[in-house]
Amino acid sequence: MSLVCSISNEVPEHPVVSPRSGAIFERRLIEKYIVENECDPINGEPLKAEELIEIKTPPIVRPKPPSATSIPATLKMMQDEWDALMLHAFTQRQQLQTARQELSHALYQHDAACRVIARLNKEVAAAREALATLKPQTGIASIQSSIPQPSIAAEAGGMATQPIEQAGMSAEVIQKLQDKATVLTQERKKKGRTVPEELVSAEKIRGFLTLASHPGLHSASVPGILALDINHSDQSKILTGGNDKNATVFNKDTEQIVAILKGHTKKVTKVIFHPEDDTVITASPDACIRIWNVPTSQTQLLLRCHDGPVSGLSLHPTGDYVLSTSSDKHWAFSDIRTGRLLTKVPDPTDIGLTTAQFHPDGLIFGTGTEDSQVKIWDLKEQSNVANFPGHTGPITAISFSENGYYLATAADDACIKLWDLRKLKNFKTITLDEGYEVKDLCFDQSGTYLAIAGTDIRVYLCKQWQELKVFNDHTALATGVRFGKHAQYVASTSMDRTLKLYGIE
């Protein structure tokens, strides 16, 4: 029986045996292996060169292989080795191709996984938005289920009975307007002497913080809230009009949606809360004005007094009439109790109207035009009694102070102009940053503060016209701003689809 090296599979010249595995090795090979690995190559147990046991054998004379004794035999051996090398190379190529296919498959799986993850992230974001939208609406079902819903015919009947022709300003209507104005003028003079004790001080307004942000009032697919109003009799209720063609009544205290008013065929750009009734009024570029019953979320009356988009809306202090303006170059005065159009007057300069606002007494009102004019009208005479030039660009917002003396106006010229109605002149101009857009103006009920909405929300102290606070929380253009009672809080809306509330924590 010949000895064979376990490493080289050849007969060793100096055979040794490992005490760890009992295998036979060529001494020089196993010593090199031990130097590099310090273990037995068969079973991996620790092994030192000194532990190797030498085997005594007679000298071996290796015979020359018979295959290499001639040139043809040598060539044959080389041909065999070449064939083996080619077979090995072919096997390697096959393995490489298999590895490439597996890698390609893994890359496709990774790409598909990334796409699935991206889609799931998008669905999660959409689900969160939907949840945010549904959360404040949970109270609607229980409210509406207990209220008998009027049939569609009721609304249709209201539309059908509304005459298109003008009913005219009767002596009875004019006397009613005059009586209300007399009462309001006397009340305003009494209020003007003192500031309400409950009114929030300027120092506290400087400390106002963002108390709440509500993104779920309108559709996320058509983002943007365009109009805002607060209920004077119930300060917890806020009304918004959206790009989604709906108006929403929201309770800020319970954080629940009270009603969603659906009916306009275009976006809702103007909204008004009735101060006494559970009624709201909305206007839209669909040329319609709708009077809604909040408990039933149904349209009570549909006013079609304009041929173009309704651009301005203001409720008369009596609560019985509404003023509207339109790009059809007319203003209209309508009875919201009967749905009758009392009068419709064209602008004498044949220019489209952009906004409207009643004076606190209700006998005069202001309108803005597309050619940067602010016009004051006498309601009883239905005539233009004063003009305030000075702006550049279409008028975007106007607001009368409760003191009855000041009028604030804004246009596409990045400034606010204050007008004295007694002297009929501009006495103050607030210049804003270049490119600043103003979308809404609002005095508080005492006439002490003025708020503007546009690129941001700003609150000014009247008379000194000092900037008290700037709110930059909205991520898009602010479209509406209103004060709560006694300026206890400020509400704002924006194209970012949120209603934000500011106040003292």
The edge-to-edge listing of strands for the beta sheet with 321-326 is 310-315, 321-326, 330-335, 341-346
78 within a domain of the structure (yes/no): no
- What is the pLDDT averaged over residues 400-412? 91
pLDDT band at 153 (very low <50, low <70, confident <90, very high): very low
Question: Considering only 85-99, 162-176, 262-276, which range has the smallest mean pLDDT?
Answer: 162-176
Using pLDDT thresholds of 50, 70 and 90, give the confidence band for residue 162: very low
186 and 327 together in one domain: yes
The answer to whether position 497 is within a domain reads: yes
| Mean pLDDT calculated for residue range 453-458 | 94
Give residue 139's pLDDT.
54
DSSP 60: -
What does the alpha-carbon distance between residue 410 and residue 385 come to, in Å, rounded to a whole number?
20
Nearest CA to 256 among 138, 398, 119?
138
User: Of the candidates 44, 61, 78, which is a domain's last residue?
Assistant: 61
Q: Which two tokens stand for residue 245?
A: 């063609």
The reported pLDDT for the residue numbered 128 is 77
Q: How many domains does the chain have?
A: 2
Euclidean distance between CA atoms 39 and 31, whole angstroms: 10
Instruction: Please enumerate in sequence order all residues whose Cβ is within 8 A of that of 451, keeping only pairs 6 or more positions apart, or say none.
Output: 441, 442, 443, 444, 457, 458, 459, 460, 481, 482, 483, 490
15-54 pLDDT, tens digit per residue, is: 999 999 999 999 999 999 999 899 999 988 999 999 999 9
Chain-centre distance for alpha carbon 450: 26
Whether residue 146 is contained in a domain is answered as no
**251 in Cβ contact with 212 (< 8 Å):** no
Please give the residue that has the higher pLDDT: either 283 or 69.
283
Mean pLDDT value of segment 455-464: 92
Q: What is the pLDDT of residue 175?
A: 92
Q: Which of 61, 76, 92 is the last residue of a domain?
A: 61
User: Residue 485 contacts by C-beta under 8 Å, 6 or more apart in sequence?
Assistant: 198, 232, 235, 445
Q: Is residue 349 in some structural domain?
A: yes
Work out the burial of residue 382: count CB atoms within 10 Å of its CB; fewer than 13 is exposed, 13-18 middle, 19 or more buried. middle
pLDDT, position 152: 35
Q: What is the pLDDT of residue 161?
A: 38
Q: Give the model's pLDDT for residue 477.
A: 94
Q: What is the mean pLDDT of the chain?
A: 87
Q: Is 140 exposed, middle or buried (0-12, 13-18, 19+ CB in 10 A)?
A: middle
In DSSP terms, which residues pair with 259 in a beta bridge? 249
* φ and ψ at residue 411, rounded to 5 degrees: -145, -170
What is the pLDDT at residue 135? 54
Look at residue 163 in the predicted model and tell me its pLDDT: 44
Q: List, for residues 370-390, the tens digit of each pLDDT value.
A: 999 999 999 999 999 999 998
The pLDDT value recorded for residue 431 is: 92
Contact (CB, 8 A) for 21 and 30 = no
pLDDT tens across 98-142, in order?
A: 999 999 999 999 999 999 999 999 888 888 777 766 655 555 545
Quickly tell me which residue has 């006694």 as its tokens.
Answer: 486
For residue 229, what is the enclosing H or E element? strand 225-230
pLDDT band (50, 70, 90) for residue 166: confident
Q: Please identify, among 61, 81, 101, the residue that sits at the C-terminal boundary of a domain.
A: 61
The answer on pLDDT for 156 being more than 60 is: no
Q: Give the single-character DSSP code of 498.
A: -
Residue 147 has pLDDT above 70, yes or no: no
Tell me the per-residue pLDDT of 341-376, one tens digit each, with 9 for 90 and over: 999 999 888 899 999 999 999 999 999 999 999 999
Residue 328 domain flag: yes
Q: Is residue 148 predicted with pLDDT exceeding 50? A: no
Name the CA dihedral angle for 82, 88, 92, 97, rounded to a multiple of 10 degrees: 90
| 53: in domain | yes
pLDDT band at 408 (very low <50, low <70, confident <90, very high): very high
Residue 61: pLDDT over 70: no
Q: What is the pLDDT of residue 84?
A: 87
> What is the Cα 288 distance to its own chain's centre?
27
Confidence of residue 186 (pLDDT cuts 50, 70, 90): confident
Residue 268 and residue 416 in one domain: yes
Q: Are residues 244 and 382 in the same domain?
A: yes
Rounded-to-integer distance, Cα 290 and Cα 284, Å: 9
The string of DSSP letters for 185-218 reads HHHHHHHHTS--TTSPPHHHHHT-EEEEEE--SS
Q: The domain spanning residue 24 has which CATH number?
A: 3.30.40.10
| Domain membership flag for residue 338 | yes
How do residues 226-268 score in pLDDT, each as one tens digit?
A: 999 999 888 899 999 999 999 999 999 998 999 999 999 999 9
* Parent domain of 37: 1-61
Structure-block tokens of residue 137: 């609406």
CB 65 within 8 A of CB 73: no
pLDDT digits (tens, 9 = 90+) for 270-324: 999 998 889 999 999 999 999 999 999 999 999 999 999 999 999 999 999 999 9
Please report the beta strands in 347-446, taking only residues with DSSP state E, as ranges in sequence order: 353-358, 364-369, 374-378, 383-388, 395-400, 406-411, 415-420, 425-431, 438-443
Q: Return the bridge partners of 293, or none.
A: 279, 298
CATH code where residue 339 lies: 2.130.10.10
Q: Which of 158, 140, 134, 136 is nearest to 297 (CA)?
A: 140
> Does 370 fall in a domain?
yes
CA nearest 210: which of 486, 447, 467, 457?
457
What sign has the CA pseudo-torsion 359, 487, 269, 472? positive
